């Protein structure tokens, strides 16, 4: 489904952040990526999304056999990729619901589908907002405008629920969430997840993985995946940190 092969990327000053990432994600799988700060986790998500601040030095990223790196940013999203960044951008003045509708209809246009009617969109929006226990205020606000960290993360998952991507890359979605919000967001992700879809979670903590059971756990360090394992690996990392990996 998502195939990342020997992905290398650098920032403007030439510093290479990703030094050969390899990752195979199949439908129905949940992959957790853990690693110390500065290891390249957020860079990985942005490079896949096509953020202009990063330069791809080599490798490939394929979604269902199509090279994402050759696509425009919006085409990657419309092909089924959803990236949730660690710090969602605030866009005052662009209404949250109007933005969601524009995004959904852009995807539908890309897929050759007709625009969703206002009535159907309203129903869809209500259903997903109920799933995430979001109140009506979200409709009136600008995109992430003036929202707390937790509210922004919930808003990101609302977008994911409405856009219904094949692969979601969620960068520290659990940060800024209180216990109840974590449960709600995690339940939302589990609800959206299906055997045809995949999720990649970047997290520092086991607590998110208590709610969303990973198929695989990977450790990213110095721009490379240096260790992969099952769910038990996250428990060991929570208990022992990262130093033992290099020592081993």
Name the residues that contact other proteins, by CB under 8 A: 49-52, 72-74, 76-78, 83, 85, 88-89, 91-94, 99, 102-103, 106-107, 110, 142-143, 159, 163
The residue (of 75 and 238) whose beta carbon lies closer to other proteins is 75
- Smallest gap from Cβ 70 to other proteins, in A, equals 16
- 148 closest CA partner among 172, 181, 171: 181
3-state secondary structure of 189: helix
| 89-100 b/e (C-beta count within 10 Å ≥ 16 → b) | eeeeeebbbeeb
- Smallest gap from Cβ 65 to other proteins, in A, equals 20
The residue (of 49 and 234) whose beta carbon lies closer to other proteins is 49
The residue (of 10 and 85) whose beta carbon lies closer to other proteins is 85
CA dist., res. 17 & res. 35, Å (int) = 14
- Smallest gap from Cβ 81 to other proteins, in A, equals 9
- Smallest gap from Cβ 72 to other proteins, in A, equals 7
- 184 closest CA partner among 223, 156, 162: 156
Residue 12's φ and ψ, nearest 5 degrees, are -55, -40
What SS3 string covers 4-56?
Answer: EEEEEEEECCCCEEEEEEEEEECCCCEEEEECCCCCCHHHHHHHHHCCCCEEE
- Smallest gap from Cβ 143 to other proteins, in A, equals 7
Strands 216-221 and 30-34, sheet pairing? parallel
The residue (of 169 and 216) whose beta carbon lies closer to other proteins is 169
Structure tokens at 14: 């030439």
The residue (of 106 and 175) whose beta carbon lies closer to other proteins is 106
- Smallest gap from Cβ 64 to other proteins, in A, equals 16
The residue (of 163 and 199) whose beta carbon lies closer to other proteins is 163
The residue (of 87 and 244) whose beta carbon lies closer to other proteins is 87
Cβ-based neighbours of 5, under 8 Å, separated by 6 or more? 22, 59, 60, 61, 62
- Smallest gap from Cβ 87 to other proteins, in A, equals 9
- In the chain, how many H helices and how many E strands? 10, 12
């Amino acid at each position: 489904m998502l195939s990342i092969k020997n992905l290398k990327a650098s920032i403007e000053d030439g510093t290479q952040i990703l030094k050969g990432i390899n990752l195979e994600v199949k439908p129905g799988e949940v992959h957790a990526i853990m690693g110390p700060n500065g290891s390249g986790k957020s860079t990985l998500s942005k490079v896949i999304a096509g953020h202009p601040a990063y330069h791809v030095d080599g490798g490939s990223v394929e979604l269902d056999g199509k090279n994402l790196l050759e696509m425009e940013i919006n085409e990657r999203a419309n092909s089924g990729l959803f990236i949730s960044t660690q710090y969602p951008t605030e866009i005052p003045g662009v209404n949250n619901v109007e933005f969601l509708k524009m995004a959904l209809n852009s995807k539908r246009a890309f897929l050759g589908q007709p625009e969703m009617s206002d009535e159907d969109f309203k129903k869809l929006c209500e259903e997903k907002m109920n799933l995430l226990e979001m109140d009506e205020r979200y409709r009136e606000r600008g995109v992430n405008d003036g929202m707390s960290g937790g509210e922004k993360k919930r808003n990101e998952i609302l977008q994911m629920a409405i856009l219904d991507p094949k692969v979601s890359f969620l960068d520290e979605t659990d940060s800024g969430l209180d216990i109840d919000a974590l449960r709600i967001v995690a339940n939302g992700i589990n609800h959206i997840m299906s055997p045809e879809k995949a999720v990649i979670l970047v997290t520092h903590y086991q607590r998110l993985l208590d709610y969303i059971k990973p198929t695989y756990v990977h450790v990213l360090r110095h721009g490379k995946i240096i260790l992969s394992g099952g769910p038990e690996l996250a428990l060991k990392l929570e208990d022992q940190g990262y130093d033992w990996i290099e020592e081993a």
